[in-house]
Amino acid sequence: MRSFIPYGQQWIDEDDVQAVIKTLKSDYLTTGPKIKQFEEKLKEVAGAEYAVAIANGTAALHAACFAAGIQEGDEVITSPITFAASANCVLYMGAKPVFADIDPATYNIHPDEIRKKITKKTKAIIPVHFTGQPCDMDEIIKIAKEYDLMVIEDGAHALGAEYKGKKIGSIGDMTTFSFHPVKHITTGEGGAITTNSKELYEKLLIFRTHGITRDVEKMTKDEGPWYYEQHFLGYNYRITDFQAALGISQLKKLELFLEKRRKYVKQYNDAFKDIEGIVIPYQLPQTISAWHLYIIQLELQKLAVGRKEIFQELRSRNIGVNVHYIPVYYHPYYQKLGYQKGLCPHAEKLYDRMITLPLFPKMQSEDVEYVIQSVKEIVGKYRIG
C-alpha cells in the first residue's frame, strides 16, 4: 500500500528553517522588522500599494470588514462555496451575509446572481477566488461602482493568480490572503490584506493592534515618548516576526510552487478530459489560476453509485481526497439563523458532485499518476453502460 497522499501539504526546506532560527536568535520575536519586510515583499507579489500582515486569513477578513465600515444592519453578498470564514467575518461586524449562487462553469460567484441579491442594505461584496481561479472581476467592479459598494476579495486560494493581466491583490478595495500550511506559501498560521488605499491601510494597521496608535499625527495629544491612545475597539491580531521571516523565505519559492501546481494540473486535465463520468475544471478566459485546489465533478447520472462511494474507495487507496466546500448555509449555526437549503441551486448541485484531488508542490509526478490511475479505475468500475 502506498503511503498516504494528503490533498495539500506545506513545503519547508532548510532555507526556511534557517530564516526562522535567525529571527528566533534576534532581538525580536513579535512586532519586529521582519513583519515590514514581509509586507514589502508581499505587496510586490500582489501588485498593491500596501500590505498588512495579520494573525490568520480569518483575521484578515474580519479586519477588512471593519475597515470597510460594515456594521449592524448592513448586508454583504458572498459565495456559499467557500470556507465559513468568508461569511463569518460579516457576522463578526453584526451584519448579515447574503449568499449569491455560483456560475456552474467556473464555480465562482456569478455577477448576475449578485445583482439579484442587492438591496438598500447592501454594503459590500466578498467575491471568493475559489480554487485559485479569479472571479469575473470586471463585472463585479462594475456592479460595485453602480451601487457604491465595497469589494473585499477573498484571495485565500489565489496568491499569484492573475485576472486580465492584473494580479489578484490589486483589483478590489481590499484583498485578503491566508498562509495556512495547505496554501501557496505558509507562515504556519498567518494572513494579510492588500489595498491601494492609504486610508484603509491605516485603519487595518490600527485594527490589528487593539485599535491603539502611537502615531503622534493621529493622537489627540502627546504626553511623551511612552504615550499611546486607543481610538476604537480593535483586536490583538498581530503576526510574529519569526512567522514573517518564514513568509519572506517562502515567497522566494512562490513561482516554483505555482509552476509545480500548474504542471500537475496539466497531468490531471490531460488524463481526465475525455473520461466519461468526470468533469474537469473550466478556466475563465484571460485568467491565470493559482491552482490551490483541483476539483473534479462526477457525472452522477452516468455512475451506479454516489459521490460518497467514490470518495471512500479513493480514501481506501490512501489518497487524501476531500470536499471543498459544504455550502456555508448548510451548517447548523447558519440554519439556526434562518438560512434554508435551496437558496443557491447551482452551488448545492456542485457540492453533491465534487471531489478535491491531491495537489501540492511536494507531490511527485508518480503521485499524480497514482491518483489518476485510481480515479480512472474506480469511476470505470461504476460507470453505467
User: Where in the sequence numbering do the catalytic residues fall?
Assistant: 183
127 Cβ partners below 8 Å, 6+ apart? Answer: 78, 79, 108, 109, 135, 137, 140, 151, 153, 154, 172
Look up residue 104 and give its three cell numbers. 456552474
Determine how many CB atoms are found less than 10 A away from the CB of residue 62: 27
Does an H or E element contain 344, and which?
none
**What type of residue sits at position 62?**
H
**What type of residue sits at position 363?**
M
Residue 278's DSSP bridge partners are: 298
Separation CA 273–CA 95 (nearest Å): 42
Residue pointed to by grid coordinates 456594521: 71
Closest CA to 102 of 116, 90, 89, 88: 116
Separation CA 68–CA 143 (nearest Å): 17
CB 221 within 8 A of CB 15: no
Residue pointed to by grid coordinates 459598494: 149
Separation CA 99–CA 76 (nearest Å): 8
Separation CA 68–CA 236 (nearest Å): 19
Look up residue 67 and give its three cell numbers. 475597515
CB 346 within 8 A of CB 327: no
Separation CA 156–CA 179 (nearest Å): 8
CB 292 within 8 A of CB 168: no
Does an H or E element contain 12, and which?
none
User: What SS3 state is found at 17?
Assistant: helix
